[in-house]
Chain A
């Protein structure tokens, strides 16, 4: 286990190194922040001063060296436009994104897995066919469109849910979160459903495929022959063997939802990390983009680690080496 951890950590360092170089290269070509920071009629001296202030006058490798040196100290630079530490801004926004993603993932699991099991066990039933048709819609509808339609339907036409924003926050375990208030929950519903739709569909399809395969296996037939109840056969025996790929996808989805809730957050004016990223890209705010991508890289490695550990719980035959 210890050796496994060490391998994982050295992998993480390698990933971060490669990612940091890539990020650095891409952010330096993605637009020039100087002309967005100074007045449009800025004099040459003002522009030069801004370039020097941002450290953009130095050659790229030197800039990278400075970046790594500071990053090792936990300093990812100050945002060009917010004038606050970039990593701090991201972490400040993290809870908002996380609560959205957690609700979306819970929805995917609680809706996706049971529906997948049912449609996998009884593929011929009308209900199963309906589920499958809807899941295709869930995968193929673009989330910005879904978001807009939901706003139109639930906020403007029916007037039962708020249009956008995060609502009031309360405190759970010292973290400010919308999960602690009634208005917070109301604000959460539409964006989290929008975010969850595609995932629910993916989970349904994945679970269904696994179930279809597993219900034909000998151990299921054997269990049935033994007189084990249908519910137990499906959710106890077959589902357990279906879960490995589902958990893998779950982990990947969790990561990408946290990293790229961008569109949903923009439509619902949700003050999360995704919106911060989009704003940063629009204003060529390099420190934020760099810190963001590194943050996401660390998170992905971490989530994959958790997923690997989960494997051993689901299937004891899998050993971490």
Chain B
């Protein structure tokens, strides 16, 4: 019997190897340009890009996530497209006019644009896409939330009417990718995701989930043709593997380079590192505008007299001064971070260069705490707080939070460190969490890819009360319940101001007031780090979106 099985096994092996042989042959015929092995490197103008994740869906509507959006940008265009500094530029809309009251927008659509399947692009496609963005499954409902109505004037003209004066409509419209009505209408969401048809620079070739997405250049694209003719995105979640792929040359470009691998990559002759400060600022939120912070938390704020120490600006300033940010940047971030004084990046509309970081001064911090009436108790502590932070959301977040807790302990503030996975963290700290307020001191990051300082102001410093919005939808990430009517008035004013220069001035003032109030404690801006082969040149974007047309060949 044993003999029989042996024979059987041998036959199976033979059959399998025969198949393997055939497959191998067809493979070399069909996929002769696969550069996976690096054995065909002279095939021109193709790049393989290693990303930290996959595009979850090639339907651009159900999920709003950096990698998915960036990949979908290759297939689809929007009415306006953000440039490298996130300012809206004409795309499917060639020109537009805004009425004097900043309420009515008229878009003149580009003529002669074709979808990948040859269909003509018209205003009907825009209307269809706008409608779809409001459906239940859409993650882009916010884009049209300020819009009262929109209508087609003719095939190439579209009128959009806003509820209030809204000079920032373009910052939201740029997120809406335009689908082909004829292709999608009547199809299920699942079908749309598997059969992408856009007007974008690249056409869909293949998506093997978790392995690769392949696009080829759309030579009928209406605008300037990108240099890269074929692009393959590979999701490589493990950081070490991503680095190894870059070192071995199996990919030409990687994003999200881990800080610890930079030296290894730099030491290779053919690899170049590109980095730039990202939009994302890491900061501490303090619940300083309420008497009863975190009333439902397991470990609430404890001070000797039961008061909320954060209400005193001296305490907020003291905590700011207690943190040695330079040391955090140097020791934890390997110098790949920039200390932040304000919450918006340099070069942005509304950036105020006059705002400076408060100096690191633990002695002054202790003095301020004494003055505020929180002197050291018998146990050596002034009061007790819980610092909530994520441990898998921002670069080295757990280490940063631990360091911050250490600095606070040094000036006599007892800190309970509460680190969580992001799947729990954001529910835990959410102000709209039905289970109640849990946090009074937490570390979060914020980046608004809208490219508008006023939008950041709207989210970050517009008044928010503990029991809900002061103004619906305003102050959504104001997790410290910062309240200042003056700031609210200025932000409202900025949103209604069509002139960018005027808006810039108003927002500069907002950030100055917010900084003087110590509304938050800013820590640093993260850096986006990329590595690529020296055969190409890369022009990074502020929003960390990887676009094949930002890559050009140098040879």
Residues of A within 8 A of B (CB): 30-47, 49, 53, 78, 81-85, 89, 92-93, 96, 148, 151-152, 155-156, 159, 162-172, 179-186, 235-236, 240, 266-269, 271-272, 275-276, 278-279, 282-284
Contact = CB atoms under 8 A, between A and B. Distances in A.
Contact of B421 (A31, A38, A171, A275): A31
Contact of B36 (A42, A168, A269, A284): A168
B27 A271 contact: no
A179 B19 contact: yes
Contact of A35 (B189, B430, B468): B430
Contact of A170 (B26, B193, B234): B26
A81 B234 CA distance: 18
Given A36-B426, A43-B473, A179-B19, A275 B193 contact: no
Interface in B424-451: 424, 426-427, 430, 432, 446, 448
Contacts of A151: 240-241, 244
> B137, B238, B240 — which one has the most chain A CB atoms within 10 A of its CB?
B238
A240 B6 CA distance: 13
B56 A164 contact: no
Contacts of B211: 96, 165-166, 269, 271
Contact of B424 (A32, A40, A82, A269): A32
Given A163-B248, A164-B245, A172 B469 contact: no
Contacts of B141: 46, 49
Nearest to A31: B423
A164 B244 contact: yes
Given A83-B190, A266-B238, A275-B237, A171 B209 contact: no
Contacts of A162: 36-37, 248, 250
A58 B202 CA distance: 42
A185 B17 CA distance: 11
A93 B392 CA distance: 26
A168 B28 CA distance: 10
B89 interface: no
A37 B139 contact: yes
Contact of A159 (B56, B248, B421): B248
B16 A269 contact: no
8 contacts: A32-B426, A36-B422, A151-B244, A162-B248, A170-B24, A179-B23, A182-B24, A269-B211
B152 interface: no
A49 B65 CA distance: 18
B277 interface: no
A168 B210 contact: no
A131 B446 CA distance: 55
A32 B426 CA distance: 8
Contact of B209 (A83, A267, A271): A271
A164 B247 CA distance: 12
Contacts of B53: 279
B96 interface: no
Q: Which of A38, A89, A165 has the most CB of B within 10 A?
A: A165
B250 A165 contact: yes
Interface string B461-487: 000000011001100110000000000
A181 B141 CA distance: 45
Given A172-B19, A179-B16, A47 B432 contact: yes
B212 interface: yes
Contacts of B63: 37, 81, 83
A97 B459 CA distance: 44
A28 B142 CA distance: 27
6 closest A-B pairs by CB: A31-B423, A180-B23, A170-B23, A271-B210, A35-B426, A271-B211
Nearest to B423: A31
Given A172-B19, A182-B27, A269-B236, A82 B56 contact: yes
Contact of A83 (B137, B430, B477): B137
Nearest to A34: B427
B64 interface: yes
Interface string B245-283: 101101000000000000000000000000000000000
A92 B250 contact: no
A30 B427 CA distance: 12
A183 B37 contact: yes
Contacts of B446: 40
A241 B401 CA distance: 59
A236 B427 CA distance: 62
Contacts of A43: 142, 145, 469, 472-473, 476
Given A41-B477, A83-B62, A186-B37, A31 B424 contact: yes
B85 interface: no
Contact of A42 (B136, B142, B209, B240): B142
A129 to B, nearest CB: 28
A55 to B, nearest CB: 12
B22 interface: yes
B34 interface: yes
B31 interface: yes
A93 B209 contact: yes
Contacts of A31: 421, 423-424, 427
Given A162-B248, A163-B245, A240-B2, 6 more contacts: A44-B432, A53-B136, A83-B62, A165-B250, A186-B37, A283-B423
A255 B444 CA distance: 41
B269 to A, nearest CB: 15
A240 B244 CA distance: 45
Contacts of A180: 19-20, 22-24, 27
A169 B141 CA distance: 39
B240 A84 contact: no
Contacts of B137: 53, 83
Nearest to B57: A83
B59 interface: yes
A190 B351 CA distance: 51
Contacts of B430: 35, 47
